[in-house]
Structure 1
Amino acid sequence: MDVAALIDEVIAREGGYSNHPADRGGPTNFGITQAVARANGYAGDMRQLPRRMAEAIYRRLYWERPGYAFVAQAAPHIAAELFDSAVNMGPGTATGFLQRALNALNRNQKDYPDLKVDRAIGAKTLAALRAFMMLRGKAGEKVLLKAIEALQGERYVALAESRPANEAFLYGWLANRIGN
């Protein structure tokens, strides 16, 4: 799994500087919000955020900290999807999608025990993922990916329904974040 390539894809999708009036994130650059940049030591104008800093933030906050490198060892396509979802929705939400999907696919705990949906990658989540992959293989990874994307798509629609200003982003979220 080449996390640098995943980061390049996210930056290409997110684009450069933006300050869309409907975006609660405010000024962003390379998809990094001003609040995240400030929390990670950047005090300058968001238009000037160095790409290298954005790359480091993506790697640390959305790949290493949530444990997606461990997921990649068992299911690289799932890890890539979790990374992208984490960038857009936060690592807790992305990881929760994985846990919920694994629970729904465990055949009433015949394959592995249900997980507590604690939104964190830990030993039990990784064990369940490995058990799922051993049982279902690469075809199963595709099905698990579809389940995660279904949860993600439902969340996007719910966000647009709950805040009409988010409708400005719904088409792009569905076009660029689901099934890529």
Structure 2
Amino acid sequence: MTIEAMIENTIGKEGGYNNHPADKGGPTKWGITERVARKYGYAGDMRDLPREKAVAIYRQAYAIEPGFAAVAEIMPSVGEELFDTGVNMGPAVPAIWLQEWLNAFNGGGALYPDIKEDGDIGPATLAALRAFKAARGPEAETVLLRALNCSQGERYKVLSRNRAANEAFTWGWLRTRVA
């Protein structure tokens, strides 16, 4: 799974400009919030955010910096899932889920050592992912993807229960983001 493919799959779900009153992210275009656009140097009106700038932000902020591109080199569908979820709820959330699930799947440390659950996908997390794949075999990627989707679905439910305004998005989140 290339970064470009991950971006194309996600940007298609996000669409154009949106400023839904219930969305705490505020003005958004191509799935990029105004806060993130400003962080990456865009100063214009969000309605005018060029697709090319959104793609550049996706590449840096949601694929390279959080380590999801590196994960995709090992497990393509997991890397794509982390990327898409990171765009939707911030990269730290799915990064921590990955680490939590890798620790839950390591057989009490018998298959590979526990890793720090800090959201930093670095050498230790990537080594654990490789060891998980080797130890768990051909089903490893499918089961890890299923586990990540469980965490994602639960988070959407909690977000909706804790803030009624989020119910405006719950159906769409599950329909387009949880496989």
Letter in 1 for 2:104: A
Alignment partner, residue 19 of structure 1: 19
Equivalences for residues 70-81 of structure 1 within 5 A: 70-81=70-81
Uncovered stretches (5+) of structure 2, i.e. residues with no partner: none
Report the RMSD for the aligned CA atoms in angstroms.
0.9
Alignment partner, residue 119 of structure 2: 119
Alignment partner, residue 55 of structure 1: 55
Whether 1:95 and 2:56 are equivalent positions in the alignment is no
**1:52-98 CA distances to partner (integer Å, 9 max, x unpaired)?**
00000000000010112221221111111110111011111110010
C-alpha separation between the residues in 2 aligned to 1:17 and 1:103?
39
Displacement after TM superposition at 1:124 (Å): 1.2
SS of the residue aligned with 1:96?
Answer: helix
* TM-score (normalised: structure 2): 0.97
Letter in 1 for 2:97: F
Contact 2:2/2:69 (<8 A) preserved = no
**1:4-61 CA distances to partner (integer Å, 9 max, x unpaired)?**
1211121110010001000011111101111111111111111110000000000000
Alignment partner, residue 161 of structure 2: 161
Alignment partner, residue 6 of structure 2: 6
SS of the residue aligned with 1:72?
Answer: helix
SS of the residue aligned with 1:44?
Answer: coil
Same amino acid, percent of matched pairs: 55
Size of the alignment, in residue pairs? 179
Displacement after TM superposition at 1:137 (Å): 2.7
Contact 2:106/2:113 (<8 A) preserved = yes
Whether 1:141 and 2:141 are equivalent positions in the alignment is yes
Alignment partner, residue 41 of structure 1: 41
C-alpha separation between the residues in 2 aligned to 1:5 and 1:72?
11
C-alpha separation between the residues in 2 aligned to 1:33 and 1:138?
37
Contact 2:28/2:46 (<8 A) preserved = yes
Alignment partner, residue 150 of structure 2: 150
SS of the residue aligned with 2:142?
Answer: helix
C-alpha separation between the residues in 1 aligned to 2:140 and 2:39?
38
* TM-score (normalised: structure 1): 0.96
SS of the residue aligned with 1:106?
Answer: coil
Contact 2:62/2:91 (<8 A) preserved = yes
